[in-house]
A and B are shown apart, each in its own frame.
Chain A
Amino acid sequence: MRGEHLEKKTRRRITGGSLAEELRHSLYLFGKNKLAVIGLVLLIAMVVVTIFAYQVAPYPSAATQTNFTDRLRSPSSEHLMGTDEAGRDVLSRIIIGARVSLPFAFVIVLTSMAFGMPLGLIAGMFGGKLDNLIMRLADIWIAIPQIIFALAIAAFLGPSLINSVIAIAFCAWPWHARFIRSEVLHIREETYVEAAQSIGASRLYVAVREVLPNAFIPYIVKITTDLGYAILLLATLGFLGLGAQPPTPEWGTIAGAGRTFLPEIWWISLFPGVAIFLTVLAFNVVGDGLRNTLGVEEM
C-alpha cells in the first residue's frame, strides 16, 4: 500500500503533475481494484436513482398510497418485486426508500464527525488531563454495544426517523474521536510540524492547518465504510420498529413490515434486504479502493 503511494509521489515529480495528470493517475490506481470499480458504479447508479426516484419508480404514488385490491401479489412482469400487504409496489417503495437511507446515512456520519473530530483533535493536540477526560469518556461509550445503545436511546426518544438518526450519531462519535486522535498523535511528530513550530507556528495553526488536513486522508476511507455502517444501523432500527415509521418507505421498515408474512410471502422482506446488502457492500469496497488510491495503510 505504502509502495503505491511512493510510486505515485515519484511519478508525480517526474511528470511535473498537472491536475488532469494527477486525476488520471488516481483513477488508474483506483481502477486496479476491479471490485472497487464495480462498487463505485453501483453507488453512482444508486445516487442517480435516488435523485430521480419519482421518475424511475414504476409506481411513484406507491410510496404511500394503498391499493388493497392488489395486495400481496408475487413478483411478476407488472410488479417486478411484488406488492406488499397494502398493495403497494415493493420495487417503487425500495427506490423511493433510497431517498431516506442514503441522505440520512450522510447526516448520521456528518453529525458524528461534527462531535468526534474536534474532540479527537483536542485530545490529540493538547494531551494531558483533557486528553484523558475525553478518551475515558469515549471508552465508556464504546464499552456499551453500539446497537443496544442506539436502540435504548431511540426507544427513549420515541420511534421516529429523526430520533433514530440522533441515536446513531450519538453512539458513533467516540469512534471518530479515537480515529482522529490516533492520527493526530503521529502527525504531530512529523518533521514538518516540528519545522513549522521552530519558526513560530502556534499550536492552533499546527492543529488546523497541518495536522487536520493530513489526518483527513486516512479519515476519508473510514468515513466511506462508515456510511455503509450507518445505513445498516438505520435499517436495523427501522426493522425493529424504532426507526422510520410506516408508511415512510425506509428499507429496514419495509423489511420489518414484511416479516410477519414470512416465509410464504418472501418478497416484501427479501428485496429491501438485498438493497441494504448491496449498498453496504458497495460502500465497503469503494472504501477499500480509496485506501489503495490514497496510499493509506491497512488498519
Chain B
Amino acid sequence: MSETILQVKDLQITFQVFEGLAKVIDGVSFELKKEEVIALVGETGCGKSLTAKSILGVLPPEAKISGGVINYRNQNLLKLDEKGWRRLRGKEIAMVPQNPMISLDPLLTVGDQLIDLMNLQDQPDISLFSYYARRSEITKERDTWAKATRMLEDVALKPADRVMNSYPFQISGGMAQRVCIAMALSGNPSLLIADEPGTSLDVTSQKVILDLLNEKIRERGLSVIFITHNLGVARQIANRILIMYAGCIAEAWEADKIFREPLHPYSIGLKKAIPTLLLTKMIGIPGRVPSYIDPPVGCRFNTRCPYAMEICRKVKPELVMVGDGHEVACYLYKGQRG
C-alpha cells in the first residue's frame, strides 16, 4: 500500500467557449497509492469526470490542459503523443463508463466488440486491413471467443454465449454495465477509473454492480478512482474520499472518518443532504455551482458558504493538513495545523 501509482499535481483545465475562457479545473492535486481506492465526490458539474478524462487523455476537443502534471508510474502523461496514450489505455489505465447503454456500439454485437478489443489489445501496431483480412483466423488462433466468454462469466453474465451474440439494445442496462466492466478489465489494467457506474440503473441493480466491482477490485488488487455524487456509495467502496467543489478539492480524508466528522462547510452540507427515512424535509445546500467563466475570487464556495469570511472572498485557500491524513481547503481550520 505504499508505492504511489498516480500523482496529479496542480492540474488546470480550461475551456475556450463563446462567453470567454472557462477555468473549470483549478489546481487539483492528489495522489493514488497502489491498491488504493479513492472516490471523487461532488455535485454535477464540479469537474469530477473531467479530471478522470484528463488521466486517460480523452478530453473533449474544446478543453485544454493549461497547467499541472499527471504522473503515472513516474511518467508524465501530459507529454504523451497519441501512440503513447494508446499503449496505456486499456492495458494500464481503463475506464468503466458512466452510461453503459450508450457506451456500446449499437451496430456491433457484444461478442464482436469484445473480440476486436481482445485481439487488438496485444497487437496495437497491426494494420487494420491485415487484421480484418485475418480476423477469424486470429480469433481461432488465440481462442478469443472462449476467452471473451470466460470474461463475461467472470462478471457474472449468464448465459455468456447468448450475450455474446446480442446487440447492445437487446440486453438490459445492468447486463450492459457488466459488459463494460468486462471490457475495462480485459486488458488487465492496474488503474481503473469508474465514472459513476450504475448511476443510470435502478438502486437494486446498482447495488449488485457495486458489489461486483468491489469484488473485482479486491480480487485483482486494482487502484481505483471512483467518481460519484453519492457519499454513501463512496463510503462503501473507497478507502479515501476527495470532496470536489467547482474544480477544486475541498477536503480529503479516509472514507469512514470524513463521513463521521467532515470539516469543510461544503462536505458538511453534502452529508446533511443525504436523505434519511426519519427526516421529513430534505436539506440541501442553497445556491448552485458558480459560473466557470467568472468564478468567485478566493474560495469558490464563498457564494454558498454560511461561514464565509472576509479572507474567503480575497485569497484562494490552500489544501492544508489538519490532522492524520486529513486535508481541508478552508480558512476555518487554518490554525489547527498538525
Query: Which chain A residues have a beta carbon within 8 Å of chain B's beta carbons?
Result: 9, 12-13, 16-17, 127, 189-192, 194-205, 208-210, 213-214
Contacts and interface: CB of A to CB of B under 8 A. Distances in A.
Interface stretch (B31-39, B114-122, B246-254): B114-122
Given A17-B170, A195-B180, A198-B95, A209 B116 contact: yes
Contacts of B106: 192, 214
Given A17-B170, A192-B105, A200-B91, A205 B99 contact: no
Interface of B: 53, 56, 58, 60-61, 82, 86, 89-91, 94-95, 97-99, 102-108, 113, 116-117, 120-121, 124, 128, 167, 169-170, 180, 183-184, 186-187
B170 A200 contact: no
A198 B74 CA distance: 21
A194 B58 contact: yes
Contacts, number: 84
A124 B107 CA distance: 20
A199 B103 contact: no
A203 B90 contact: no
Given A192-B104, A195-B180, A205-B120, A12 B170 contact: yes
Given A194-B58, A195-B97, A214-B107, 10 more contacts: A189-B60, A196-B105, A198-B95, A199-B117, A200-B124, A200-B187, A202-B128, A205-B128, A209-B108, A210-B105
A202 B124 contact: yes
Nearest to B131: A205
A191 B124 contact: no
Contacts of B91: 200
B102 A9 contact: no
Contacts of A209: 105, 108, 116, 128
Contacts of A205: 116, 120, 128
Nearest to B107: A213
B52 to A, nearest CB: 9
Contacts of A204: 128
A224 to B, nearest CB: 19
A213 B113 CA distance: 14
A191 B97 contact: yes
Contacts of B61: 127
A189 B58 CA distance: 11
B105 to A, nearest CB: 5
A199 B170 contact: no
B103 A192 contact: yes
Contact of A199 (B98, B102, B108, B187): B187
